[in-house]
Structure 1
Amino acid sequence: GQGKNYQLKRANYVIDRYLLPHLHEEGVEDEDVRINKAFYLCRMAEACFELALQRRDSDDKDHYANKRLKVSGDLMTDLFRTALNKLARDVKYQLERANMRNRQLSVNTVVRSDVLTERLEHPIATGNWVGGRSGVSQLVDRTDFMGVLSHLRRLRSPLSRSQPHFEARDLHATQWGRICPSETPEGPNCGLVKNFAQAMELTQNIEDEQGLKRELASMGVEGIPGLESTTRTPADD
């Protein structure tokens, strides 16, 4: 029931923001990002054709190189982004309301601090996170020192607890040195809730990005010609 121009604008927004969001970079033009996403989709289709023609083996979804971890910083980023958008919408509403009633603007009435505070405190207190996830934040188990260490290194899988998921619950060879082979709860969460090994260190950001690209090039990874150097290619990922 919307106009064609609105439909096109909305479709472009969805493609730029929600389709393959990990390829989106701040400061990069949307057109360049779309070209990147097109190459990425073509690479996915090529992998499917190669699998159908038996030119490659199927990927192991339980291999830890094929997994993406969301640590506390990523989760807090999602929460803060949602809270900030809510605050921006509320400020816009308060400005429009004050303009309609010809009221004098005041920072205390336009920017309500409780909007941002409540949006941050409520998920942390209840564990109900943005995106419909529950149990994200929990009270630390202070039973003993080892219980605290175990709880702080807990790893939760988004898979349903009511389904078998035999392969996901099993030990995988790539977990060696990273995931504790014995620390897992009994019952329906068995194997789906794991724990990092105590000596494991999680590295997030890579400062020497050019060094990583040189290392990939030495391993035979080829970039996509024709793209600007400011954009990230599927080969770079």
Structure 2
Amino acid sequence: LESDEEIVHRVSDDPEIVKFMLENLEEAEVQTQEDAIEELGTRVASGQGKNYQLKRANYVIDRYLLPHLHEDDVEEEDVRINKAYYLCRMAEAAFELALYRRQSDDKDHYANKRLKVSGDLMTDLFRTALNKLARDVKYQLERANMRNRQLTVTTVVRSDVLTERLEHPIATGNWVGGRSGVSQLVDRTDYMGVLSHLRRLRSPLSRSQPHFKARDLHATQWGRICPSETPEGPNCGLVKNFAQAMELSQHVDDERELKGELASMGVEGIPEITTDHKPADD
């Protein structure tokens, strides 16, 4: 979204919110899409060459900004316009909060939580290990080429690179991204203890901070989280357990069926921007 009219129209038509928007737009030093990419480039790759800055800025927008909207089989422009709409929706929510028209979101509400189950964690680990293997294969090929050695699979693809990258985190619990205690030895004191351990949840919040709200039992955890099973001491409330009768659903097979279900519940899609838009009367 490049013009001020497009941006304001996409955020809101409310006069009070538009006044907020105009104040922000007047302070903006960027006027064109090219200027915006250059400005982002200086922030994400300061001190680098201009071409690298532009390339890095585009990569960050496509891969790291709102990554849940990124789809490999969708055109880049369509993905970016969806991200623009999403940012505008976020801005509208912030303006509504500033005008006391809505309550602030409850970050402890269970609908606002994201669970990383074993499959997601192993995906992160395997992706890192595979990238490491690819870099090692490239290095071994360059090394063999410089020394004019005959290429063999055993020398180019070292079997221990991938294996060690997978086994070491699982054995120690030190995962990619600086997380620790992800994998643990199962406590087999009794059968119920095993079930409890297999359904354990661990919060990424620091144990040394109070985090009173996060440690409290929230009403939306009813039927999902056990209200009494939690350790004593600094981990109290940060380490929880699933309720024994809770089932975790996975693998939504048909995305169209899910979208149809949302549409039947009244969820509306984002309409296209019209150039002949006229602001609403006061």
Tell me, yes or no, whether TM beats 0.5.
Answer: yes
Give 2:219's aligned residue: 173
Q: Residues of 2 paired with 1:15 and 1:208: CA distance?
A: 28
Q: 1:90 aligns with which of 136, 140, 146?
A: 136
Q: Residues of 2 paired with 1:219 and 1:90: CA distance?
A: 51
Q: Residues of 2 paired with 1:82 and 1:28: CA distance?
A: 25
Q: Residues of 2 paired with 1:37 and 1:100: CA distance?
A: 46
Please state if 1:204 is matched with 2:247: no
Please state if 1:159 is matched with 2:205: yes
Give 1:136's aligned residue: 182
Note the alpha carbon deviations across 1:125-180, whole angstroms, 9 max, x for none.
00000000000000000111111011000001111111111111111111111100
Greater shift, 9-18 or 64-73, is seen at 9-18
Q: 2:122 aligns with which of 64, 68, 76?
A: 76
Give structure 2 stretches of 5+ with no counterpart: 1-46, 274-282
Q: Residues of 2 paired with 1:164 and 1:141: CA distance?
A: 28
Give 2:153's aligned residue: 107
Q: Residues of 1 paired with 2:112 and 2:48: CA distance?
A: 40
Greater shift, 131-140 or 3-12, is seen at 3-12
The share of aligned pairs that are identical, in percent, is 91
Three-state SS of the structure 2 residue aligned to 1:131 is coil
Give 1:186's aligned residue: 232
Please state if 1:18 is matched with 2:64: yes
Q: Residues of 1 paired with 2:251 and 2:88: CA distance?
A: 28
Greater shift, 20-29 or 135-144, is seen at 20-29
Aligned AA for 1:47?
Answer: A
Corresponding pairs, count: 227
Three-state SS of the structure 2 residue aligned to 1:74 is helix
Aligned AA for 1:37?
Answer: K
Q: Residues of 2 paired with 1:194 and 1:120: CA distance?
A: 26
Give 1:40's aligned residue: 86
Q: Residues of 1 paired with 2:256 and 2:63: CA distance?
A: 26
Three-state SS of the structure 2 residue aligned to 1:11 is helix
| 1:120, distance to aligned residue in structure 2 (A) | 0.3
Please state if 1:118 is matched with 2:164: yes
The 4+ residue runs of structure 1 with deviation greater than 6 A are none
Three-state SS of the structure 2 residue aligned to 1:194 is strand
Which fold has the larger relative contact order, with Cα–Cα distance below 8 Å and residues 6 or more apart in sequence? 1
Three-state SS of the structure 1 residue aligned to 2:240 is strand
Greater shift, 32-41 or 69-78, is seen at 32-41
Give structure 1 stretches of 5+ with no counterpart: 228-237
Give 1:233's aligned residue: none
Q: 2:113 aligns with which of 55, 67, 72?
A: 67
Note the alpha carbon deviations across 1:55-96, whole angstroms, 9 max, x for none.
111111111101100000000000000000000111111111
Give 2:261's aligned residue: 215
Note the alpha carbon deviations across 1:179-237, whole angstroms, 9 max, x for none.
0000000001111110000010001222232232222222221111349xxxxxxxxxx
Aligned AA for 1:134?
Answer: S
Give 1:230's aligned residue: none
Three-state SS of the structure 2 residue aligned to 1:155 is strand
Distance 1:226 1:101, change over 3 A: farther
Aligned AA for 1:167?
Answer: K
